[in-house]
Chains A and B, each alone.
Chain A
């Protein structure tokens, strides 16, 4: 299986992916074999159904949002490049990457990009603001029917009240960053990809 994957993936592609995402060679081949095993349609791309077969995503209340994050706008297939680009958000930040000069452009796995990824999960209409309605939707997903609408509304209000600093009744990305300032996002939003 693995060997087939590695031969199917051409070296240049690997190089490009490596450059773009920062994954190592073996990580890419490994992830490619994972990609192909997810790909039930065997057409080199993944559909939403393919993702929904992953149990972790299937039971995750935000699973659909995460799956959506893999797909570029108005598409319902994702190829390996796109797949890797999304996964690159979750690559842990290595020590030697921290002191690299920032002029080279930010890698996909930087703190900001990780946060942006998370932010997008909540920002449904992509207006760079999390509104009260969007919060309510997420809450509904997370707690089901156990809490009354009224209480959920007050939770959403409280959340916005806590986070909102400019008084527009929604959470912008900057406010989002501010909220999660003390959270160890670098560590929490990282997957230990096998080397």
Chain B
């Protein structure tokens, strides 16, 4: 085969050569002409063609004819075949075969000629036709008949094709260009022929039936293309529509990708800082979408109805700033502390009225408030768990490609469609980064060192960190105690520091501890990915301590306020009774008109819910401030200092001690997670908190991605984040659960304030739901509920759920086990194959050597003429490994012969080269690849 191929090539080169000449001359002519006059393009075109044709006709007439003759026989053979096929077919359709095409070429030439000079064309056409007849084959007359018809069609086709080239209009004609029709026709013919000859094929029945069905479908589908009029138009329409559809789909995909927010930004960061840093930003983006949805609930179902349909500001006491605060209510410092006007605004729980239904829509605001408060948790839980499950699935299949990590990086990393220099820069960076990531992974794999020292250091590190955690826990406890003491004192006596001591200490701990942990973690010398997880866990513990200390302090506060509130409530009731008694006594009437008091002057309770909301609001704001300031000072300031002081400093600041900051993934992720915990907890008491959080996430997306690009340097050991950021999600889930507890506790056990918020006047918050069920829904539903809340129903339900969980868990374990086993098996099979191939190669080597040593003593004497023909080959095959020859084709051919001669003495040989013929095409086109080519013969599954 290779020799044949070569000759093929040679022929084609010859042809090409000829044509190159032709085109060259043509284009040169053209160039000359173009320089002469550019205006008269059409004329020139025609002229050009005519020149060419004339040249060919006149100067090279014999040659051309000769060539045609040479070309013709092949074609005509094919024609014969095809004609035969068509005869065999019942299909009465005339075959439009390659012969037709050849004809057409002639035709088209004729046409061109007729266009310009009709006189000359006629004889020429005759000549052509004579030629044809001379070559006369089977088609003969038939063809001629078609000729006329085709001429017509031809013109049309010609027109359409040229117009399609010049204009970009998407007409049906264009979508179905001439070439495609040809190809289709061929295919249809082929299929038809297949149908006709299927009976004789040595296939299995199943396959035959399959092929028959396929072929029939195909013919049915595309025959329309061959027909005229309606069928064809319909087909063209169909083709056009599919094309449009494909294009639309593509555009839509692109559009979808373009719509993913910040994708470009994140990719840019990823390419410079690696997937670990990018994973933070992806997490941030995910968080942002989650919060958007939460905000949608909160704002659409609670805040907006209250603003639109509820009572306006100043109408009732809870919506009015008390008289004594009014003087300072607009002060900025008060507003920033969420006092004054902002305390009595829709941002907080207390603002909402307890009217059962408001506005025209009879919107049940209290019910909606409660349901949204709980729905936020429900939705978050659902989303987090769903994305965790999806990530777990994605992470599962990524693990088995670990065979050729470097090879794949090497051969497939560049994206050849990149056309933008900036993107190319990014791609360079990302390739570099990914190589670095792999290097780190690799180093980690190869590391082996003193295990006892390592263990000791790890224990020591954990000890130190536990100590730190304990210390910080005590510090927080201490500060909270002090804070409670301060709270007893008069507010005016306290300094700013004393007022904000708790927040200050917590922020300080948040700043100091993580770097401390990181330093200690150096002792452990884990792989950075594992180290990150440890770090995350530790900081999580730290923050958790903070959070719960904060919460307990808050609960103390709340309890105190509740008692205070009781007193005030009693006092107001007493005052009201007094007023009534006095009124009755004074005016001697029982119809007491309601007391007219300015809402600002009404005595009111402390409204602990709003206080809690304010606490969370303040915490979030201080969190934002600290985080942003840290970036500004710690990253930006440091970067500026390092950059510019470096010009006048004794040592190299950039490379030396301060250097630039690295992006602290763990801090940022945990900051985000805990911030979200705050939002979840606080959202019930401060509906505005989610909106604030959205602003925060949005700004920090831009701010941080700018900061990281501008001020940070990539980690020293860039590492690859695990594809699923399930660890982050796990933390988030934990925090979600933890923040769920206090909220549910307060809803279920604490009694709401009597004079503020949507549940005022109720004994418990959830009574809203009970009331709705009892009063507004049909009685049978309340019956159902009363049954459903019966312990006799709940207990079995819980039991059932536990059983279901147990069952599902064990099923999934079983699947996991099976998965693992299969993977192991695959690995074993792969190794085995590799070994066998290697072994076989070596045994083959021995055999080869033997064979080379004893060429004449093999059982079957090799034919003498072969030896004579190719004396070189023996040498070649001897020095097989070392000789990477240019005589590839020959060698390969001889290999085959050698194999044949080997076949008899060596019983293994047939096995070795059994599948060879199937593999031949790739081997041949590629030329000689002695060793591996043989190796592959046995093992590799034929593709």
Q: State the A residues within 8 Å of B (CB).
A: 1-8, 10-16, 18, 20, 24-30, 33, 42-44, 55-56, 59-62, 66, 79-82, 96, 102, 105-106, 111-113, 116, 118, 122, 127-129, 135, 138-139, 142-144, 146-147, 151, 154-155, 158-159, 162-163, 165-168, 171-180, 182-183, 188, 195
Contact = CB atoms under 8 A, between A and B. Distances in A.
B12 interface: yes
Given A7-B45, A151-B439, A165-B838, A15 B105 contact: yes
Interface in B430-484: 431-432, 435-436, 438-439, 442
A25 B401 contact: no
A143 B411 contact: no
B414 A60 contact: yes
B921 A102 contact: yes
A162 B442 CA distance: 13
A50 to B, nearest CB: 14
12 contacts: A8-B26, A15-B101, A20-B12, A24-B179, A33-B165, A43-B27, A66-B416, A81-B16, A96-B187, A143-B431, A146-B432, A165-B935
Given A144-B432, A158-B406, A112 B101 contact: no
Interface stretch (B558-566, B765-773, B926-934): B926-934
Contacts of A127: 884
Interface in B96-134: 101, 104-105, 108-109
A73 to B, nearest CB: 12
B25 to A, nearest CB: 9
Contacts of A61: 414, 428
| A11, A55, A138 interface centre (most CB from chain B within 10 Å) | A11
Interface stretch (B418-426, B494-502, B578-586, B657-665): B418-426
B403 interface: yes
B933 A174 contact: yes
B30 interface: yes
A159 B436 contact: no
Contacts of B175: 195
Nearest to A145: B432
Contacts of A106: 921-922, 925
Nearest to A80: B23
A147 B403 CA distance: 23
B417 A6 contact: no
A144 B405 CA distance: 20
4 tightest CB-CB pairs across the interface, nearest first?
A25-B179, A2-B165, A3-B166, A26-B177
B926 A128 contact: yes
A195 B410 contact: no
Contact of B161 (A26, A173, A180): A26
A42 to B, nearest CB: 5
Given A8-B30, A155-B439, A179-B404, A118 B177 contact: no
Contacts of A172: 929, 931-932
Contacts of B432: 142-144, 146-147
B436 to A, nearest CB: 7
A138 to B, nearest CB: 7
Contacts of A122: 411
A116 B12 CA distance: 21
A154 B410 CA distance: 13
Given A56-B419, A106-B921, A174-B929, A5 B404 contact: no
A59 B428 CA distance: 10
Contacts of A195: 175, 177, 180, 243
A168 B837 contact: no
Contacts of A43: 24, 27-28, 31
B703 interface: no
A91 to B, nearest CB: 13
Contacts, number: 211
Contacts of B22: 10
Given A20-B12, A106-B925, A174-B940, 13 more contacts: A8-B27, A11-B105, A13-B23, A26-B161, A55-B420, A79-B23, A96-B218, A138-B410, A155-B410, A155-B438, A166-B935, A174-B936, A195-B243
A60 to B, nearest CB: 6
Interface string B755-784: 000000000000000000000000000000
Nearest to A23: B179
Contacts of A163: 404, 407
A118 B404 CA distance: 17
B410 A56 contact: no
Contacts of A25: 161, 177-180, 182
A82 B183 CA distance: 22
B410 A159 contact: yes
Contacts of A16: 15, 19
B523 to A, nearest CB: 26
Interface in B14-39: 15-16, 19-20, 22-24, 26-28, 30-31
B180 A26 contact: yes
B183 A165 contact: no
Contacts of A129: 884
B414 A128 contact: no
Contacts of A165: 834, 837-838, 932, 935
A21 B45 CA distance: 27
Contacts of A118: 411
B49 interface: yes
B436 A147 contact: yes
Contacts of B164: 26
B408 interface: yes
A40 to B, nearest CB: 12
Nearest to A106: B921
B21 to A, nearest CB: 10
Contacts of A10: 22
Nearest to B49: A7
A11 B53 CA distance: 13
B238 interface: no
A62 B417 CA distance: 12
A11 B838 contact: no
B887 interface: no
A30 B165 contact: yes
Contacts of A111: 943
A39 to B, nearest CB: 9
Contacts of B30: 8
Contacts of B7: none
A56 B179 contact: no
| B164, B413, B932 interface centre (most CB from chain A within 10 Å) | B932
A8 B412 CA distance: 38
A162 B165 contact: no
Interface in B280-325: none
Interface in B525-570: none
A79 B20 CA distance: 7
A183 B162 contact: no
A122 B421 CA distance: 23
B654 interface: no
B637 to A, nearest CB: 27
Contacts of B881: 168
B179 A44 contact: no
B41 interface: yes
B841 interface: yes
Contact of A6 (B162, B243, B943): B162
Contacts of A167: 838
A139 B45 CA distance: 50
B406 A159 contact: yes
B28 A142 contact: no
| A14, A147, A195 interface centre (most CB from chain B within 10 Å) | A195
A157 to B, nearest CB: 9
Contacts of A30: 165
Contacts of B932: 165-166, 172-175
Contacts of A3: 162, 165-166
Contact of A79 (B16, B31, B101): B16
A142 B431 contact: yes
Contacts of B929: 128, 172-174
A162 B403 contact: yes
Given A3-B162, A167-B838, A143 B27 contact: no
